[in-house]
Amino acid sequence: MSSKEIKFVTPDASYGMAVNQLVASCPPLDTNSAYCNLLQASHFRETSVAACLDSGEVVGFVSGYLIPERPDTLFVWQVAVSEKARGQGLAKRMILSLLERPSCSHVHHIETSITASNNGSWALFRRLASQLDASLNESVMFDQHAHFNGQHDTEHLVRIGPFSL
């Protein structure tokens, strides 16, 4: 599959179930309720992007939102790329495409959270920071014990910026 066959789409609710299945097929992502993905694809559509084949199959999705108290910061909630579409810069290009939207015209920082063992995600956001020529800072966002009651690995906050496109 070449990147030419993939188009980026602002989702709507009709994408919710396809996104739900894509996320479920992309461990170690936490699986979502269908309702969660429907909200991502509707209320958060202006800061989310779907990558689709000509056939309509959704092979990538980034959900995000502007942090309510800090609307200059895009929080990247989940990034999912189906196995067959990995390794061609799709995840990175989807996030960069969000930054080019009018809805992100005031965005100068990206935040996300990553577990220590998710090498792909660390590589993606480090690459993104270097492409944006911005620094990357890490801290604990949600702690395994203090926040997850021991039932989930610690989520590390990654903050990239400031940058301007």
Ligand X SMILES: CC(C)(COP(=O)(O)OP(=O)(O)OC[C@H]1O[C@@H](n2cnc3c(N)ncnc32)[C@H](O)[C@@H]1OP(=O)(O)O)[C@@H](O)C(=O)NCCC(=O)NCCS
Helix then strand count (H, E) for the chain reads 4, 7
* By the rule CB under 6 A, 29 interacts with ligand X: yes
* By the rule CB under 6 A, 90 interacts with ligand X: yes
137 forms bridges with which residues in the sheet?
A: 159
Element (H, E) at 119: helix 119-131
Measure the CA–CA gap between 107 and 103, rounded to whole angstroms.
Answer: 9
* By the rule CB under 6 A, 124 interacts with ligand X: yes
Q: Taking the complex as a whole, how short is the minimal distance between the CB of residue 139 and ligand X, in angstroms?
A: 17
Q: Taking the complex as a whole, how short is the minimal distance between the CB of residue 61 and ligand X, in angstroms?
A: 9
Q: Which residues, including other chains, have CB under 8 Å from residue 151's CB and lie 6 or more apart? A: none
Number of residues that bind ligand X (CB under 6 A): 21
* By the rule CB under 6 A, 13 interacts with ligand X: no
Among the listed residues 105, 119, 149, 151, the single contact to ligand X using CB under 6 A:
119
Give 102 or 117: the residue with its C-beta nearer to ligand X: 117
Give 66 or 112: the residue with its C-beta nearer to ligand X: 112
Give 83 or 102: the residue with its C-beta nearer to ligand X: 83
Greatest Cα-to-Cα distance within the chain, rounded to the nearest angstrom: 45
Q: Which residues, including other chains, have CB under 8 Å from residue 99's CB and lie 6 or more apart? A: 74, 107, 110, 165
- In the shown chain, the binding pattern of residues 56 to 75 toward ligand X, with x for contact by CB under 6 A and - for none, equals --------------------
